[in-house]
Amino acid sequence: MSADASRTDGTAAGGSTGTDHAAVDEEPRPATYYHLARAVLYREYLIFVRYPANAIGGVVVSLFFFAALFLGGQLLAGQALTDSIEGIVVGYFLWTLSVGAYSSVSNDIGSEVQWGTLERHITTPFGFAPVALLKGIAKVVRTFLTSAVILALMLVITGTQLSLAPLTVVVVAGLSITSVLGLGFAAGGVTVLYKQIGNWLNLLQFGFVALISAPVFDLPWTRVLPLAHGSAMLQRVMVDGVRLWEFPLTDLALLVAVAVGYLVGGYLVFEYATARARRLGVLGDY
């Protein structure tokens, strides 16, 4: 019996060792940026699916303001508005994208501050800035979808026809609003540091109108401002039918440089503001 017991104990020990090795092999691997991006995109999809009334409400509000602009302009300007309606439609389309990109970062960071969950993001292995950037990109993707619906309805309302080359429109519009993401990061950093400044941040959204309509041909220096150069290129794409490969390399290089420059600048402002909030001990205050 002692021999059997020895064999039994040995078998049990061997089985336990094999289980331990399997447990070690099956330990969870650290999350990567791929997992983070997938989780953020899936979260945005769930929000869109679970709260469709909010998304539909955004489309209705945007169309209401455009209809008021269009009908009011027809009463006041008449044929002058009709002659420039293509540019107005393109500009309003870019404005809806810009507001969505800007608010997706600035408002989201402000919400994290109010909810008291900012510290949880900062203590993650990724840090809060990468999480906020990916959340902003995910919301920009959703904004593209809703703005495309708004654009289609605007074309129906006005009876206007535009050139809608998908690749060119997405690339030019996407790079144009990338600079606005940078502004959103900067605004979010200021929110972390000074808390309640929502009225000032919302005021910047109306400044996008001036940037989109900036006279880049009469004042070439305005091309380095956010949205200005991209707006001029998007007008040529959607009104004149110019394709991406037909633009001069200098125009494309400037579009990329402005987008990257403002995004990096806004990111650095956000990092500085959050670091200063830590030093002052007001990171979690509200």
Is residue 24 very low, low, confident or very high in pLDDT (cuts 50, 70, 90)? very low
CB atoms within 10 A of CB 137: 19
d(CA 235, CA 242): 9
Q: Among residues 197, 224, 202, which one has the least CA distance to residue 211?
A: 224
d(CA 112, CA 99): 19
The number of angstroms, rounded, from the C-alpha of 212 to the middle of its chain's C-alpha atoms is: 18
**Region 179-194: what's the mean pLDDT?**
83
3-class DSSP assignment, residue 7: helix
> pLDDT by residue (tens digit) across 90-121?
888 898 888 888 877 777 766 666 666 666 66
**Region 264-272: what's the mean pLDDT?**
88
> pLDDT by residue (tens digit) across 141-157?
888 888 888 888 888 88
Top pLDDT among 33 and 245 is at: 245
Which pLDDT belongs to residue 26? Answer: 54
> pLDDT by residue (tens digit) across 157-182?
888 888 888 899 999 999 999 988 88
Q: Could you state, in order of their start, the residue ranges of all structural domains in the chain?
A: 29-280
Which pLDDT belongs to residue 237? Answer: 92
Question: In a 10 Å sphere around its CB, with 0-12 CB exposed, 13-18 middle and 19+ buried, how is residue 73 labelled?
Answer: middle
State how far the alpha carbon of 57 is from the alpha carbons of 27, 63, 124, 146, in Å. Answer: 45, 10, 34, 11
Q: Taking the model in full, what pTM does it have?
A: 0.79
Q: Which residues contact 142 (CB under 8 A, 6 or more apart)?
A: 44, 48, 55, 100
CB atoms within 10 A of CB 60: 11
Across the chain, what does the average pLDDT equal?
77
Q: Is the pLDDT of residue 123 over 80?
A: no
Which pLDDT belongs to residue 234? Answer: 92
% of the chain residues with pLDDT over 70:
75
Angle formed by the axes of helices 52-77 and 33-50, nearest 10°: 70
> pLDDT by residue (tens digit) across 4-15?
544 444 444 444
